[in-house]
Amino acid sequence: MAYMSPMTDTRAFARAVLRRLAGIAALAVLALALGTAAAWAKGAHDYSFTAIDGTPLPLDAFAGRPVLVVNTASFCGFTYQYEGLQALYDAYRGRGLVVLGVPSPDFNQEYASAGEVKEFCDVTYGIDFPMTDLVHVRGAQAHPFYQWVAATGGNRAVPRWNFHKLLLGGDGALVAAWPSTTKPRSRAVVARVEALLPR
């Protein structure tokens, strides 16, 4: 039997430990990657909001229907777009379109409570499409739906300001995103919406 010095034994042991640690690290990275991939693989129907009246508002309630999701605010230069959103909803709700308003305080242009937002929308614009409670739409505090949007659609899909628009297909996939400057009844939005609706 060949003689092995204590130093050789220590080096062999260290190499064995490093190999084991490398294997564990690789498994951890793989698990993280698979977990991230699983999160990205989700669709919008896996998420739920609270409605502006405090009741549950799961997105799977809209399965089979396209949904235009818009983060809104009451004191913004784009607030007039509520009128266009309601008109779009009126024009296409009979064919299945849902417009979903998501009031957000992220840009410091929204009331402090859902009740105030609801009253403003009812009185000023006669809004009757569904709306959520106030939520964050960007950053670390973003609602899980908007975290999914960021992971799925990248920076282009993340709201940079109020009245950013996201179009979901009937299967819950993210179909399109438009910035605040794109009006609800613009040719681009209407064409994508009509493409998702039954003839």
Which amino acid is residue 71, in one-letter code? N
CB 88 within 8 Å of CB 184: yes
- Residue 76 designated active-site: yes
Query: Which of the residues 39, 51, 76, 150 is marked catalytic?
Result: 76
Q: What's the whole-model pTM score? A: 0.80
Per-residue pLDDT, 42: 81
Helix axes 187-196, 81-92, angle to 10 degrees: 30
* Of 49, 77, 52, residue with least CA distance to 61: 49
Per-residue pLDDT, 199: 80
Burial of residue 116 (CB within 10 Å: 0-12, 13-18, 19+) is: middle
Q: Which CATH superfamily is domain 44-196 in?
A: Glutaredoxin (3.40.30.10)
Sequence spans of domains, the chain: 1-41, 44-196
Tokens representing residue 80 in the block: 């007039």
Exposure string over 173-196, b if 16+ CB within 10 A, otherwise e: ebbbbbebebbbeeeebeebbeeb
pLDDT mean for each 10 residues of the chain (199 residues) = 55 63 49 43 91 98 98 98 98 98 98 98 98 97 97 96 98 98 98 95
- Residue 3 backbone phi and psi in degrees, to 5: -80, 135
Per-residue pLDDT, 6: 53
